[in-house]
Amino acid sequence: MKKTPLHEEHLRRKARMIDFFGFHMPVMYTSIIEEVKCTRARVGIFDLCHMGRIVVTGPEREDVVRRAVSKNVKKVPVGAARYGLLLTPEGTVKDDVLLYREEDRVHVVINCANRERDHRHFLEHAEGCDAVVRNVSDEQTMIALQGPASARVLAPLTDADLDGLGYYRFTRAEVAGVPRVLLSRTGYTGEDGFELFFGAAEGPAVWRALLESGEEHGISPIGLGARDVLRLEAAMPLYGQELTLEINPFEADVGFGVSMKSEFTGREALLRVKEEGIRRKRIGFEAESRRIPRTGMDILAGGEKVGWVTSGTYSPTLEKNIGMGYVPVEHAEIGAALEVDVKGKRIPAAVVEMPFYKRER
């Protein structure tokens, strides 16, 4: 298995490690419930080095990215991040990404499972263009601070103006003595927080500095298990579950990541989808049972299977069982009564508004 630059730090803290898409990653340190509550109430620190990163440079870099990604990077302000999608010619989702537009480059964060495929996607769109596509995934450390105390932990270690850094904005700043760190106010938990990108060699020192700075704020390292619960409570889709090669952005309710006036792979197919309308839709539901709905379980209406669960869990924040899935649009209205087949037991569920959890600003 591959190891991130922070691997020894996880072992030192006796994290429970698992194989995650070929990476030896921490699934938890204490317990999933404790780590979720820590992030919601205080602050958590996350190793995200397994995520992929691509950098596109050169005079025609933005033309390459514009064709490769559904979000028109040319309309993104310098210093801003935006959500976008890599699509097939049929308009279905190959991956969801974050674009960071700088003066001289576009930095793209991609999903761990799609590192090589996404790299090829960008290379194909760069053919014949005056641009360079580099997969810098193994050259970088990527760390996230998430939770209401994130800014208080980071402020003593950086010269960045955190108060002036808005949501989905980023800057280059010194952090814990490391210059020109890409520091963004983004995250995958529904909380305020930051994501940091810098050289792989500096990873352990910065990780330890952040933990030391966060001691008085109750910081804790957070594993993949809690990260998945946090993103589900915030109703954020996950590639391979809510987003797949069989699902288009409008079904998944991520149309905000599509610039229909731009030119990108899959646009013609999406124009047809908009004209014809969608037939199924991503929903959120609460399950009225102690049994937890899980990925792949059937969703029923009137005793008949109508859809499937893409993600499900017990929410420590809401103290309820929640899930997301796909059903025909006629069963997607808020309040619609459904059932989930949990190992042969049909449990009642109701469609609810998403996100399940929304922080107070």
Q: Average pLDDT of the chain? A: 98
CB-based burial, 224-251: b 16+ in 10 Å, e otherwise: bbbbbbbbbbbbbbbbebbbeeebbbbb
The last residue of one of the domains, among 225, 246, 276, is 276
User: Looking at residue 361, what is its pLDDT?
Assistant: 77
Tell me whether residue 361 is in a domain. no
The answer on 288 and 234 residing in a single domain is no
- Of 247, 276, 305, the residue that ends a domain is 276
Q: How confident is the model at residue 96 (pLDDT cuts 50, 70, 90)?
A: very high
Q: Is residue 357 part of a domain?
A: no
Q: Which of 228, 243, 276 is the last residue of a domain?
A: 276
Task: Give the whole-number percent of the chain exceeding pLDDT 70.
Answer: 100
CATH code of residue 246? 3.30.1360.120
Q: What is the pLDDT of residues 181-202, one digit of tens each?
A: 999 999 999 999 999 999 999 9
Q: Does pTM top 0.95 for this prediction?
A: yes
Distance separating alpha carbons of residues 82 and 101, to the nearest angstrom? 9
Domain shared by 114 and 240, yes or no = yes
Question: 178 and 302 share a domain?
Answer: no
Q: What is the dihedral of CA 311, 29, 16, 27, to 10 degrees?
A: 20
pLDDT tens-digit readout, 296-315: 999 999 999 999 999 999 99
Instruction: Please tell me the distance from the alpha carbon of residue 206 to that of residue 234, in angstroms, as a whole number.
Output: 28
The answer to whether residue 69 scores a pLDDT higher than 90 is yes
- The rounded distance, in Å, linking the Cα atoms of 141 and 12 is 18
Residue 211 lies in a domain: yes
Number of domains in the chain: 2
At residue 360, the pLDDT reads: 85
Whether 175 maps to a domain, the answer reads yes
Are residues 299 and 250 both part of a single domain?
no
**265 and 314 share a domain?**
no
CB of 136 within 8 A of CB of 182?
no
d(CA 134, CA 106): 11
- Residue 325's alpha-carbon distances to 41, 92, 210, 221, 261, in angstroms, are 28, 17, 37, 30, 29
In this structure, are 161 and 114 located in the same domain? yes
Beta-sheet pairing, 304-315 with 320-328: antiparallel
Angle between helices 32-41 and 224-233 (to 10 degrees): 60
**In a domain? residue 360:** no
Q: Are residues 207 and 319 in the same domain?
A: no
Answer for the pair 131, 60: CB distance below 8 angstroms, yes or no.
yes
Domain CATH number, residue 302: 2.40.30.110
Residues 98 and 178 in one domain: yes
pLDDT in tens, 9-60: 999 999 999 999 999 999 999 999 999 999 999 999 999 999 999 999 999 9
290 and 152 within one domain: no
Cα angle, residue 110 at apex, residues 134 and 236 outer, rounded to 5°: 165
Query: Do 153 and 35 sit in the same domain of this protein?
Result: yes
Amino acid at 247: I
User: Is 359 within a domain?
Assistant: no
Give the pLDDT of residue 25.
98
* Whether the Cβ atoms of residue 358 and residue 317 lie closer than 8 Å to each other: no
Q: Which domain holds residue 189?
A: 1-276
